[in-house]
Structure 1
């Protein structure tokens, strides 16, 4: 468990161990949210990635890709069609 003190401006310093575990770097943004009366925060980059992954679930199948080989063949085909 880590403790941080709130400054008069409402700022806190996230302890180094937590920053490292969350892969937070200077300039990163975090999102705060409440769930069942408890407050949490996450790195917005990880939230964006999870949201994107969820939105893309099943899209490969819809596009006709059944496995990695299908994707590789498609990429090869696209590269050939764009070579000048």
Structure 2
């Protein structure tokens, strides 16, 4: 458990142990989420990545992507389609 003091401007210093645990560095944005009578503090970038992972969960399986070669093949197919699209316009 860590403790921080609130300044007259409502600012706090996040203890180093918490910054390290959350991967917070200078310039990072912090997300405050209310859950009942608690506030959850998290690294906004990490939270965004987790949400993106959740949104894409299962998509690779649906597309039949099993390895890096499958991704490369898909990218080439999409580029070929886009190339054809631009030629028609």
Q: Quick check: TM above 0.5?
A: yes
Distance (whole Å) between structure 1 residues aligned to residue 42 and residue 49 of structure 2: 12
Relative to structure 1, the CA distance from residue 76 to residue 20 in structure 2 (aligned partners, 3 Å threshold; closer, same or farther) is same
1:7-64 per-residue CA deviation (whole Å, 9 max, x = no partner) reads: 0100000011111111100000011011121111100011101100001011112222
Relative to structure 1, the CA distance from residue 16 to residue 74 in structure 2 (aligned partners, 3 Å threshold; closer, same or farther) is closer
Could you say what secondary structure the match of 1:18 adopts?
Answer: helix
Which residue is 1:40 aligned to? 40
1:76, distance to aligned residue in structure 2 (A)? 5.6
Could you say what secondary structure the match of 2:27 adopts?
Answer: coil
Distance (whole Å) between structure 1 residues aligned to residue 55 and residue 44 of structure 2: 16
Question: How high is the TM-score relative to the length of structure 2?
Answer: 0.75
* Structure 1 ranges of 4+ moved more than 3 A: none
Which residue is 1:8 aligned to? 8
Could you say what secondary structure the match of 1:25 adopts?
Answer: coil
What aligned pairs does 1:38-77 form with structure 2 within 5 A after superposition? 38-65=38-65, 67-68=66-67, 71-75=68-72
Superposition RMSD on alpha carbons, in Å?
Answer: 2.1
Question: How high is the TM-score relative to the length of structure 1?
Answer: 0.79
